[in-house]
Amino acid sequence: MTDTVSTTGTTESVADFAARARAWLAENMPRIDAEHPPFTVRAEQSSWDRAKELQKRLYDGGFAGICFPREYGGLGLDFAYQRAFNAECRSYEMPLILNVPTFTICAATILDMGTEAQKRERISAAIRGDEILCQLLSEPSGGSDLAGVITRADRTDGGWVINGAKTWSTSAFAADYGLMLARTDWTVPKHEGLTMFLVPLNAPGITMRRIREVNGNEEFCEEFFDSLVLGDDAVVGEVDNGWEVASRQLYHERRAVGGGSEFASGTGAENANEMPPDHVGLAEATGQADDPRVQELAGRALVRRVVKQHLIDHVARSIADGSLPPNAGTLIRLFHAETTELEVDTALAIAGTAAVVDEGGAAAGLLDVGVRYLSRQTGSLGGGTSEMARNVIGERILGFPRELAADKGIPFNQVKRGRS
């Protein structure tokens, strides 16, 4: 950590940067127990208000947007500086909920595909802690076929009129802008007639509702667009070339979900429910610490956790040096999903009935394991399903033949949908 990394932002060494961050954090950010982080509830507006407050502190202190270019409000530094800062800030309260989707997905996509004005306005506002960004991709009838969206954008004088619906939009209720994929040409194959828009979520013509999940959470939203009017300046990328933007967006999402994005600031858990399960503690609480079967289960999960971190580091380095293609971020996404499921499944197997019934005694308080089990599969859905991730790995990394698509090359208005 003594080298100076080549960067347009500074000649300060990584070690000196880390030392400066260490001193600043001690003076300016609230301390926490990293093993028992504050309980941040994504479904509550107060959590987002607190995150914006903390982000403003980082910005004022000169530690926000470390890997974003300086002209858009960041520091323009190499990933090594962000990693150093992450190591220093682990014991401090950080605006972690802003990492996904604001910074690692939406701002990263705008950085790659947006206009100069969009970069200067939206990325800068997010880094300052003034705005939150979200994704508006999935649709009630779309499922995992993102290119099959039917939300339509019709051209008008100087702009567009949007009609349709989106769903499963993460934290959209707290967001100021959203990246929305819509169909602008129905006469060409589905991937060719799409356009990405940057939508102000307080605009007339948008109705938003919260979605209640089986575990009681209400983080996700659905949105209905009724003659929403957007200007040409809302287009991200080129008209009818939205699939290129969406593909880049998915690239960033798959890296973000797995924990491999350079645009994430801080690496701790957002709250206790995001912490990896304490399998050893569960075994002790249920009187199974000496059970060889339970020890094997816990050991397998712990090893998988270590392997995941090594995979993140390996894939990040390999994408950076070109030895792996950008789509290799999907490897992180898939391994993350499978590791999360294994961790929670193992916790439930160890806790047994104590995870679903309050049995009192030493095992009291383990019911959260059962609640976590209800949402264990979310990592297998974010950024596309795990089945789609395997397709990406097979076709775009390993070079396997693409699967047959019945609608390939067919104008979208001739594709059979639903019961048609």
Structural domain boundaries enclosing 29 = 14-131
Looking up tokens 């509830």 gives: 41
* 204 in a structural domain: yes
* Cα→Cα distances 367→285, 292, 359, 363, Å: 13, 24, 10, 9
- Model pLDDT, residue 369: 86
Q: What pLDDT is recorded for position 54?
A: 98
Domain count, the chain: 3
Q: Which residues of the chain have pLDDT under 50?
A: 1-2, 4-6, 420
**CATH number reported for the structural domain that contains residue 217 in this entry:** 2.40.110.10
CATH number of domain containing 99: 1.10.540.10
The two tokens of residue 348 are: 């439930």
Same domain, 52 and 88: yes
Is 9 domain-assigned? Answer: no
Predicted pLDDT of residue 2: 41
Q: Are 136 and 199 in contact (CB under 8 A)?
A: yes
Identify whether 3 is part of a domain: no
| Per-residue confidence (pLDDT) for residue 272, from 0 to 100 | 66
In a domain, 413, yes or no: no
Q: To the nearest 10°, report the CA torsion of 59, 64, 65, 69.
A: 60
Residue in 371, 373, 355 with CA at minimum distance from that of residue 363: 355
Both tokens assigned to 71: 């002209």
pTM here is 0.87
268 in any annotated domain: no
Strands 220-231 and 206-210: what pairing? antiparallel
Return d(Cα 259, Cα 250) in angstroms, integer: 14
**Are both 104 and 171 inside the same structural domain?**
no
Write down the pLDDT at residue 176.
Answer: 98
What pLDDT does residue 19 have?
A: 98
Residues 227 and 290 reside in one and the same domain: no
